[in-house]
């Protein structure tokens, strides 16, 4: 016969069960002296006190573990939100990154029409070449500040390239898109950029509007073509999709 496998975990309450069994045996005696009962009662009392102490200790540890678990869950929740934000937002400006603005636009076009604005900072390479990339980053952040002031809560802003941005206006039409784009163009043109740049910076805009069901490529391509015409016609201007 195979040898019996012993329980690897010791019985935590063996001494208590032994004391209980001894008390039962004493109770089963037809006659016993008072001293025997007293001794048995003292043992039972001692074991009960130990159980109370252990129970309190275990409850205390359980409460601490629960508090630590709640704290850990809260930290994990914060970390998850931070990771999600980093995965969908541009690190320099805090606006949506390329993948996120494409996804948002695609999802929005499934439900409603949109006005789409594509803008590009004019002669941005000169800023980097003349003043360095830190100055260029400061210019980008300043321009994003202009965009946020104009767009507010009514639209979404995404950085799709180094100096290129997309603004999405859910439910917007071409007229609204042109109005918002012109407001952003004027805000950027009058923005004061501090040293070492210390000169105006402008941007060019292309605007298109599309009904629900339009694909992202068509919506973006139309606005981007209008932006290209704005660049060719002198920059620092707004051009609508289809305009000569």
Catalytic residue among 16, 25, 49, 163, which? 163
Q: pLDDT tens digit string along 156-202?
A: 999 999 999 999 999 999 999 999 999 999 999 999 888 888 888 99
Give residue 1's pLDDT.
47
CB 127 within 8 A of CB 139: yes
- Is 163 designated active site? yes
Q: Which of 134, 130, 128, 102 is nearest to 116 (CA)?
A: 102
Token pair, residue 215, equals: 């694909």
3-state secondary structure of 129: helix
Contacts of 66 (CB under 8 A, 6+ apart): none
Q: How far apart are CA 213 and CA 31, in angstroms?
A: 95
| 116-137: average pLDDT | 94
CB 121 within 8 A of CB 201: yes
Report residue 243's pLDDT band, with 50, 70 and 90 as the boundaries: low
What is the model's pTM? 0.71
pLDDT over 70 (residue 8): no
pLDDT over 70 (residue 141): yes
Task: Note the Cα 20 to chain centre separation in Å.
Answer: 58
């Amino acid at each position: 016969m195979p040898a019996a496998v012993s329980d690897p975990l010791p019985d935590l309450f063996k001494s208590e069960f032994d004391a209980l069994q001894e008390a039962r045996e004493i109770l089963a005696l037809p006659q016993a002296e008072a001293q025997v009962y007293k001794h048995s009662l003292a043992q039972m009392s001692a074991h009960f006190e130990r159980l109370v102490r252990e129970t309190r200790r275990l409850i205390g540890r359980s409460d601490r573990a629960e508090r630590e678990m709640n704290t850990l869950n809260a930290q994990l929740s914060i970390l998850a939100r931070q990771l999600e934000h980093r995965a969908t937002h541009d690190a320099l400006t805090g606006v949506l990154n390329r993948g996120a603005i494409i996804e948002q636009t695609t999802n929005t076009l499934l439900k409603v029409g949109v006005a789409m604005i594509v803008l590009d900072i004019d002669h941005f390479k000169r800023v980097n070449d003349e003043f360095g990339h830190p100055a260029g980053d400061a210019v980008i952040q300043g321009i994003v500040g202009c965009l946020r002031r104009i767009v507010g809560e009514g639209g979404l802003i995404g950085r799709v390239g180094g100096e290129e941005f997309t603004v999405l206006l859910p439910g917007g039409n071409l007229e609204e898109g042109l109005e918002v784009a012109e407001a952003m163009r004027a805000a950027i043109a009058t923005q004061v950029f501090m040293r070492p740049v210390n000169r105006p910076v402008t941007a060019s805009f292309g605007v298109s509007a599309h009904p629900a069901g339009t694909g992202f490529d068509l919506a973006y391509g139309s606005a981007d073509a209008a932006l290209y015409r704005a660049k060719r016609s002198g920059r620092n201007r707004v051009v609508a999709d289809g305009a000569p």
